[in-house]
Amino acid sequence: MPELPDLEVIREYLAPRVVDVAIASVQVRRPIVMRNLLGGDPADHLVGQRLTHVGRRGKFLLFSLGNGVSMVIHPMLAGRIRYGDPLARHRVRDVLVLCLADGRELRYHDAKDMGKVYLTDDLNQVPRFAIQGPEATDADLTLDVFRQRLLRHRGEIKRVLVNQTFVAGIGNAYADEICWRARLYPFRRRASLTAGEVTRLYSAVHCVLTEAIEILRTCVGDAIDVEVRDFLAVHGKAGQPCPRCGTSVSEVRQARRATHFCRNCQPGLLVGGGLGR
């Protein structure tokens, strides 16, 4: 699932390459994923328009057009964005292909059909967009603001972190990394955190995300459609040694979501109802 670090690096890569380039033609190959909130044929709103800005908000990637329309990509679990020379053949799960006037193409592919591409002139029409909290890396998200926002949410720490109304941009993978960095059991109740633990959590949010952006900038290159996660400490590393203490990383699965953590560095009660190792 592309999260804040992934999408920020994709945004940085695309902006200098596609801004001020016109869209020559459009192919909507999987209409089920396309949400044209303007009505009519999507091509009528896209073809001939220049891309004027590439932005990001939380886990949404935003493409602004000269006619005031925004194309919003919400990759969800398996959405991937490719930019480059045209492919010789379309792939089965290619959703949208924008052929650009400079001969390159921008292509959205979704192996699960869970993501969405929206066309709108009002971002508040995009589901879940307007209710997002501040960016998780926003300089204005001070420790005091973080504490106050945290008080509004109940439940397990990890569930709060991935709640986009708390802060925007954190998903399953980086929530695991943040909890590990903060030495907090991901299934701890938010209300049980001490003031010192909240400070550690706040610091971990900033450090994990900013470090990930720096790493991805150096290793992603042109392959922005390839998800890079091999540098993570615990997420996806079940059974491997914890980088901090050497204990095998544990995995608990609940509601189709895998959580990875170190039982030694992040002690807590065993989770009921989960499948763990």
Torsion of CA 212, 218, 222, 225, to 10 degrees: -20
pLDDT at 255 over 90: no
Domain 143-276 falls under CATH 3.40.225.10: no
CATH 3.20.190.10 domain position(s) in the chain:
4-125
Average the pLDDT over 133-146 and give the result: 98
Judge if pTM exceeds 0.85: yes
Q: What is the pLDDT of residues 51-60, one digit of tens each?
A: 999 999 999 9
Check whether 275 has a pLDDT greater than 60.
no
83-106 residue pLDDT tens: 999 999 999 999 999 999 999 999
Which residues are known catalytic residues?
Answer: 2-3, 59, 257
**In which residue ranges of the chain is CATH 1.10.8.50 found?**
143-276
- Output the average pLDDT for the chain: 95
Pick the CATH number of 4-125 from 3.30.365.10, 3.40.50.300, 3.30.310.50, 3.20.190.10: 3.20.190.10
